[in-house]
Amino acid sequence: MPATNPTLETTFAGIRCLNPFWLASAPPTNCGEQIMRAFDAGWGGAVWKTIGEPITNVSSRYSSIDYNGTKIMGFNNIELISDRPIETNLREIEEVKRRYPKHVVIASLMVESKRDSWHEIVKRAEGAGADGLELNFGCPHGMSERGMGSAVGQVPEYCQQITEWVKEAAHTPVIVKLTPNISDIRMPARAAKRAGADALSAINTINSITSIDLDTFEPRPNVDGKSSHGGYCGPAVKPIALNMVQQVMSDPSAALPMSAIGGIATWSDAAEFILLGAGTVQVCTAAMHYGYRIVEDMADGLLAWMRRKNFATLDDFRGRSLPNVTEWKHLNLNYKIVAHIHEDKCIGCELCYTACWDGAHQCIHLDRTLPHADTTRTPQSIAAEAPRRITTTPIPKLDLNGPGADGPNLTPLSRIPRVDEHECVGCNLCSLVCPVPDCITMERVDNGLAPQTWDERVAAGIVPEPIEHGVLPNPNA
């Protein structure tokens, strides 16, 4: 088979893109100078920091949470939209488009909820040369208190109304940016689609309080001793964003070209979102953390993966995982896997053992060197035995039973856990906690049963019909 020479070029809602990597509307896209440097670094597009009547920001504005020594697992901001005059932003959009005509510049917009105000800002942004418009219906802090941002995004009717006003005036594609701070993200997405939106972007940031200072009892980011809920983003939100993108893209009444946002930092993050139907991806936190240079590996890595998978274009795999996401009731109840520990890879940390006992189904045991299988020893009983062992410093050439006896490179058999495959429910927990790649694999067990879902069991009368919403038995009756 001839080697594929894949391309990242793509078209999003009619907008031609050099690649699917856009900077999200945020501090990295605050001004033209930044965006031109970002384009030089390899970004295919940028959504301008939201343009509207200039605001006044507070200091400080950001906070983050770290995880086990890794900085910025999650990031939070209480910064508002652009604090620069509208005309400055528009003048710079014009300059950027003149100098980078092939790169995508999207104008993110937020004005008061009046038809004339939206008509005016749309005309001015398109007049400046923006390739498209993103309606910021997602900003969860500050602007929402003034009836804008997520105050619009949380009410499908408002979302629809404003999108309709914008579409009355717009000549370029209109992207509606959705807030995740809502029970069902499909509702505003459907409203946007009804209003004629050309595309969606999701997710905006999630309401959050990142942390409390344990010395001052004040929350972060600290503004003179107080804080306010901020928008949460970064690696921690990616699973939430993947779910919401899937929810929208699997809903025919909502699905539109999707510019995915939420914790994207690497090529593999991008690939996952595209597999769930995204046309482009938007990045903010990772660029704030490491700078624009991260896009080089996003492009390089994605192309390498496409070559390995023999994909020539993004369209070759866009949405490919959507059919694999379904409702729980459609999952095969007769599918059975069990954990298998590859003894040759096991390092003897016994994390799978303690996880299975305390966090799962008590079916991993430490009995390989006992005369008989023993499923009754608990972690507590093993821990109680440990201090009673007498050990001494092994003196070289004299002691043969020290830790050096087996050599530190051999795991003693007594430390390699054993899976009771009859009891194992195939939950994955042991394989998730195991630090060694491919040491614990989940192996399919052929139980001879044909696939059967809950839905099918209900249909076959094996299990009772589900209770309809609204007819729950009244406990007070």
Partner 1 sequence: MSEPLTFFEQSPRSPEIAARFPDLHPAFDKTAAVAEANRCLYCFDAPCTTACPTHIDVPRFIKKIASDNLEGSAKTILDSNILGESCSRACPVNVLCEGACVMHRYNKQPIAIARLQRFAMDSLTEAGAGLPFTPAPDTGKSVALIGGGPASLACAAELRRAGIRAVIYDARPLPGGLNTYGVAEYKLTPAASLREIDRIAQLGVEFHLNTTVEAAMLARLESEHDAIFLGVGLGAIHRLGIAGEEMTGITNALDFIADYKRGALTQISGRVAVVGAGNTAIDAANASVRLGAESVTMIYRRGPEQMSAFDFEYEHAKQEGVDFLWHVQPIGLSGNGRIEVLQLERLESSTDGSLIPIPNSAFDLRVEHVILAIGQSTHTDALLANGAAPAKLKLERGRILIDRATGQTSTPKYFAGGDCTNGGREVVDAVADGKRAGIAMAAWILGGANASH
- Pick 226 or 389: Cβ nearer partner 1: 389
299 Cβ contact list (under 8 Å, min separation 6):
8, 19, 21, 42, 267
d(CA 419, CA 342): 11
Residue 279 vs residues 34, 158, 282: alpha-carbon distances, Å: 24, 26, 10
Q: How far is the CB of 407 from partner 1 (least distance, A)?
A: 9
Instruction: Please identify which residue in 324, 391, 447, 474 interacts with partner 1, judged by CB under 8 A.
Output: 391
Q: Tell me the window of 117-125, 183-191, 265-273, 380-388 that interacts with partner 1 (CB under 8 A).
A: 380-388
Q: Tell me the window of 93-101, 170-178, 295-303, 394-402 that interacts with partner 1 (CB under 8 A).
A: 394-402
Instruction: Please identify which residue in 56, 183, 324, 392 interacts with partner 1, judged by CB under 8 A.
Output: 392
Q: Three-state SS across 257-279?
A: CEEEECCCCCHHHHHHHHHCCEE
d(CA 227, CA 219): 6
Residue 169 binds to partner 1 (criterion: CB under 8 A): no
- Pick 168 or 399: Cβ nearer partner 1: 399
Tokens standing for residue 330: 């459609």
Per-residue contact track with partner 1, 69 to 88, x per CB under 8 A? x-------------------
Residue 68 binds to partner 1 (criterion: CB under 8 A): yes
Buried b (16+ CB within 10 A) or exposed e, 157-181: ebbbbbbbbbbebbebbbbbbbbbb
Residue with tokens 């593999």, as numbered in its chain: 268
Per-residue contact track with partner 1, 349 to 368, x per CB under 8 A? xxx-xx-----------x--
- Pick 98 or 397: Cβ nearer partner 1: 397
d(CA 157, CA 453): 37
Q: How far is the CB of 440 from partner 1 (least distance, A)?
A: 14
- Pick 168 or 385: Cβ nearer partner 1: 385
Q: Residues binding partner 1: what is the number (CB under 8 A)?
A: 35
Footprint on residues 427-466 left by partner 1 (CB under 8 A): 435-436
Identify whether 139 is a catalytic site residue: yes
Q: How far is the CB of 356 from partner 1 (least distance, A)?
A: 11
399 Cβ contact list (under 8 Å, min separation 6):
392, 405
Residue 459 vs residues 273, 334, 472: alpha-carbon distances, Å: 34, 16, 21
Q: Tell me the window of 8-16, 185-193, 406-414, 420-428 that interacts with partner 1 (CB under 8 A).
A: 406-414
**Residue 180 region by backbone torsions, left for phi larger than 0, else alpha for psi between -120 and 50, else beta:** alpha
d(CA 232, CA 241): 11
Instruction: Please identify which residue in 312, 383, 449, 463 interacts with partner 1, judged by CB under 8 A.
Output: 383
Kind plus residue range of the DSSP H or E element containing 208: strand 206-208
Contact 280, 302 (CB under 8 A): no
- Pick 413 or 459: Cβ nearer partner 1: 413
- Pick 109 or 434: Cβ nearer partner 1: 434
In terms of Cα–Cα distance, which of 122, 126, 131, 109 is closest to 167?
Answer: 122
d(CA 289, CA 303): 24
Instruction: Please identify which residue in 1, 3, 398, 471 interacts with partner 1, judged by CB under 8 A.
Output: 398
Catalytic residue among 139, 159, 233, 356: 139
Instruction: Please identify which residue in 98, 171, 226, 389 interacts with partner 1, judged by CB under 8 A.
Output: 389
- Pick 187 or 430: Cβ nearer partner 1: 430
Please list the active-site residues.
139
Q: Which residues lie near partner 1 (CB under 8 A)?
A: 68-69, 347-351, 353-354, 366, 379, 382-383, 386-387, 389-398, 402-404, 408-411, 415, 435-436
